[in-house]
Structure 1
Amino acid sequence: MDIIDTHCHVIAEDRGRYPRAPIGGKTSTWAASRPVTAEGMVAGMDESGIQQSVLVQATTAYGYDNSYVLDSRAASPDRFIAVGTFDPLAPDAPARLASAIAEQGLAGVRLFTSGSTVPTQGEWFAAPESYKFWRAAGELGVTVCLQMRLGPATRQLVDVLERFPTVRVLLDHFGYPDIADSPARAGKEVAELATHPGLHLKLTHRSLEPLHAVGEEAIEFLSPVVESFGAERIAWGSNCPAAEQSLTELVELARAVLAPLPPAAQEQIFAGTARRLYPSLGGYGS
């Protein structure tokens, strides 16, 4: 099966060339304790059967300095594309976005509004000052990864999706739905967002682990989400090495949870959606 990892992070050994500047003021635990270099990521991909990966900027290590993901992509263009962290509130955001895509080589950008080093959910991604960025992203056809938590900022997300319906938004980690408490309720809450055609979902271990833990109840979450969004709007990502498991284990986790879905749906989640969101990945085998 064609497998693309839409969410993995790389950390350089050379701190002089790639200094740490984490958002939130401190490096995340995983980036400090189990970093993986670009070379190490390729080795893991080979072992696990992953053809290509989307290197998502390790925001909790490098902040807005996307140098390492860009250099890693340049060194292995057949295996990697790069998504960099971006500031949509910058006065010159539209021009900077155009330059980041056309000149620097980013395939997409990421807005980091909440995470391990930023525990309070930010609402700034939907502020009026961000509108020029969102408009430019739609005009340029740029996929915007959004790291946020549903619930605290769902209203802001919906506002963006309604104002800018042509923008492709890829919601990191499904927005951290509370699957453990009630798979059915969490699935219904996520499914309700499918009315916004620009919204896509990134399925990582953050949701796969609780889905695996609830066993047969996982289908109560998966069924409404897949039926409403379609597998064509869901993409798998490992979240390696923020996830403690190896890439091989993370692939197997995804296979196990998604096993009840038809093979055609699994193919979309493992690769088809990624290739549409990021055309620079090319076609299978290219």
Structure 2
Amino acid sequence: MKKRMLACLPLFAVTALLVFAGCQKDDNTNPVAETETVEVETLAQVEFDAADYFVEETANDDALLAGRQTAAPSSLPSCATRTFNTQTHTLTIDFGTTNCLCNDGRTRRGKIIAVFSGARHTAGSSVTITLDNYYVNDNHFTGTKTKTYVSANKMNVTVQNASIQTPQGNFEWSAARMIERVAGADSRQLTDDVYLVTGRSAGTNRRGVKFNTVIEQPLKLVLAPTCVRNFVAGIVKTTTENGHTLALNYDPIGGEPCDKIAELTINGRSKRIELR
């Protein structure tokens, strides 16, 4: 089994952000409305990363890729099935047509379809992941994620035509990022890996407010057990069409400690927060 490049890079500051902005008036031109830009970032990021993780873990199953049926990996529930077409290099993860309770507590239905090109984790190789009639907790997700390897330790990641249809309204999202492993490549264990993430994203929240997000300082992810849930450094800045800015600094103290302390700034007003 090859050591894989981490794909799960969610943001965890939504609850703190909503509390911080909660004293503001709730209309389309005040920060409490703009916090939904972080909500769409989180909803989209987390679920596309989850789909990516399912694909990466399944693709490590050499027997399945050779056309033999094997037991599902630990991340997938028994109600999900996996098939691999050796001629088209297409992996299909099917959660069925009714809600399937997954190990992360979310329900899913529909399919994740991944098409591989080239030898995995080598320069020029790629995998394209598409969501087909795919629902998470009854929210309809669409979109395509493509990972193209620049080298064994660096890849370009793009997400196109992503949307989330919810009872409260619809979201749109796209992203373009570079993920690079800067430590840990010489061993097979994951816990010594360190990654840097750069890039930008854009979208529209359910109120129709457009936003752009840029990683102003590379996000640093350390996979040591005490660090894995949060970035230890990096700054993400979001600007909305209404003129609001939201910035999240993962290392306000300095020294890149493996803690949950970050600093949130909304329209120039800053506050230290504790990430979930």
Structure number with bigger Rg: 2
- Higher relative contact order, structure no. (Cα contacts within 8 Å, ≥ 6 residues apart): 1
Write 1 or 2 for the structure with the bigger share of strand: 2
- Same fold per superposition (TM over 0.5): no
Write 1 or 2 for the structure with the bigger share of helix.
Answer: 1
When normalised by structure 2's length, the TM-score is 0.32
